[in-house]
Amino acid sequence: MARLVMKFGGTSVADIDRIRNVARHVKRETDAGHEVAVVVSAMAGKTNELVAWTRAAAPMHDAREYDAVVASGEQVTSGLLAIALQEMGVNARSWQGWQIPIRTDAAHGAARIVDIDGSLLVERLKQGQVAVIAGFQGLGPDNRIATLGRGGSDTSAVAIAAAIGADRCDIYTDVDGVYTTDPRIVGKARRLDRVSFEEMLEMASLGAKVLQVRSVELAMVRNVRVFVRSSFDPPDAPQIGVGNLPPGTLICDEDEIVEKQVVTGIAYSKDEAQISLRQVLDKPGVAAAVFGPLAEAGVNVDMIVQNVSEDGSTTDMTFTLPVADYDRALKVLEGAKDAIGYRILQGSKDLVKVSVIGMGMRSHAGVAAMAFRGLAAKGINIRAITTSEIKISILIDSAYTELAVRTLHSLYGLDAA
């Protein structure tokens, strides 16, 4: 029998009926003889409500008190699920992050997990007790509740799975796995049976919303097998899938994937912006003069393209950033004009980044050229390009998002038969 961590997001525990449905999923696993720990999010919409309350109380508020308020949503859910399980005859109790304890750093509101002592949990699991754990929270160095930032319950689940030596961490969500691209855009998108940690990390960071990026990073570092599945499948439905797993997607080490596709999926990220500095004096330290102040202002820069003039005296620098950082970045660059030495500052919004991802790119040539030809044939202009060993990202006008995603999805043979 296995030791499992089961994580349920906000839509899965949105009301009492759905919490009872979650309890039936948990009971199915305990009836099968598995040791089970459950990690839950707050009910759908509850965290937003709690955040709004803190802002209404005071626009500038103590981050420690903010954490005390917003962490209460998961506390409620964990208690309700424990009650529902007990009603079904399952030995269960709720745990808050500080009771385990999950130790974090001091960054209240966006803390990172430092350590988890899973010994007491393991002892209780061996005794047949189900641990229902409030996600998204831990205990800071000041012995106060610290929350992990948006999507932090995924990170909680993976970290707990690592701490207790779980065989698998099952992430139950409102979709039934990871798809080759967004099924809302491409009707022929296919559910993937297995995805490597590296591919999933790229997909999550480039726009796929199935898993939080930090949780995938942690899973890869600690080699925690993560299984994405739907909480809305009937709890008593046949657990039949690929490789002795129920329907869903397994995120695992590359070595577990026998047949590697050249391209695994197409991701896209909206709300991208672009800034260009024209005729910048080409001298040592100019890049630091540009990106140093932006970093100090908290602007997250992504793609960077630099073109030096023919005589080598000036250069053009273009980079991308989130739309939310656009206005702040322009102000920073305008203020640093003399230090940078540019003549023209240009910018544009309403862009999208489309990415082609696949482990097979390591051993196959011409993957990028195929994308460029395919997009050119559709009249889609590419504004910027960046690549890594397993990824190609292309910046285009957002009006062409769906056309570009569909084109690339078909081009690499990802459409379902």
pLDDT in tens, 312-347: 778 888 999 999 899 999 999 999 998 898 999 999
**% the chain with pLDDT above 70:** 97
Q: What is the CATH number of the domain that holds 288?
A: 3.30.2130.10
Phi/psi of residue 176, nearest 5 degrees: -100, 25
Annotated binding-site residue? 184: yes
pLDDT of residue 240: 64
Question: Can you tell me the distance from the alpha carbon of 402 to that of 185, in angstroms, rounded to the nearest whole number?
Answer: 6
In this structure, the answer to whether residues 111 and 242 fall within a common structural domain is yes
* Domain end call among 256, 278, 302: 256
In this structure, the answer to whether residues 199 and 297 fall within a common structural domain is no
Q: Is the pLDDT of residue 241 over 70?
A: no
* Domain end call among 256, 288, 313: 256
Q: Is the pLDDT of residue 194 over 80?
A: yes
Burial class (CB within 10 angstroms; exposed 0-12, middle 13-18, buried 19+) of 235: middle
In this structure, the answer to whether residues 9 and 77 fall within a common structural domain is yes
Q: Are the C-beta atoms of 401 and 354 separated by less than 8 Å?
A: yes
Annotated binding-site residue? 47: yes
62: CB partners within 8 A, 6+ apart: none
Return the number of other C-beta atoms located less than 10 Å from residue 41's C-beta: 28
Annotated binding-site residue? 378: no
Burial class (CB within 10 angstroms; exposed 0-12, middle 13-18, buried 19+) of 144: middle
Q: How confident is the model at residue 78 (pLDDT cuts 50, 70, 90)?
A: very high
In this structure, the answer to whether residues 215 and 340 fall within a common structural domain is no
In this structure, the answer to whether residues 287 and 245 fall within a common structural domain is no
144: CB partners within 8 A, 6+ apart: 64, 67, 68, 108
Domain for residue 364, yes or no? yes
In this structure, the answer to whether residues 219 and 311 fall within a common structural domain is no
Domain for residue 417, yes or no? no
Residue 116 structure tokens: 């988890």
Question: Can you tell me the distance from the alpha carbon of 290 to that of 35, in angstroms, rounded to the nearest whole number?
Answer: 53
In this structure, the answer to whether residues 238 and 273 fall within a common structural domain is no
Annotated binding-site residue? 54: no
Fill in the amino acid letter for 265.
G
Q: How confident is the model at residue 186 (pLDDT cuts 50, 70, 90)?
A: very high
Q: Is the pLDDT of residue 285 over 90?
A: no
pLDDT in tens, 23-63: 999 999 999 999 999 999 999 999 999 999 999 999 889 99
Name which of 237-246, 272-281, 372-381 the model is least confident about: 237-246
Tell me which range, 76-90, 192-206, 377-391, is most confidently predicted by mean pLDDT: 76-90
Q: What angle do CA 22, 24, 28 make, to 5 degrees?
A: 120
In this structure, the answer to whether residues 240 and 281 fall within a common structural domain is no
Annotated binding-site residue? 253: no
In this structure, the answer to whether residues 242 and 335 fall within a common structural domain is no
pLDDT of residue 204: 87
Domain for residue 107, yes or no? yes
Fill in the amino acid letter for 340.
I
Annotated binding-site residue? 210: yes
Annotated binding-site residue? 10: yes
In this structure, the answer to whether residues 109 and 218 fall within a common structural domain is yes
DSSP H or E stretch at residue 327: helix 326-335
Return the number of other C-beta atoms located less than 10 Å from residue 143's C-beta: 9
Annotated binding-site residue? 8: yes
In this structure, the answer to whether residues 223 and 312 fall within a common structural domain is no
Fill in the amino acid letter for 365.
A
Annotated binding-site residue? 323: no
pLDDT in tens, 138-183: 999 999 999 998 889 999 999 999 999 999 999 999 888 999 999 9
In this structure, the answer to whether residues 159 and 220 fall within a common structural domain is yes
Annotated binding-site residue? 405: no
Domain tally, the chain: 2
Q: What is the CATH number of the domain that holds 181?
A: 3.40.1160.10
- Show the domain range for 26: 3-256
Q: What angle do CA 149, 154, 159 make, to 5 degrees?
A: 100
* Domain end call among 233, 256, 279: 256
Q: Is the pLDDT of residue 292 over 90?
A: yes
pLDDT of residue 235: 86
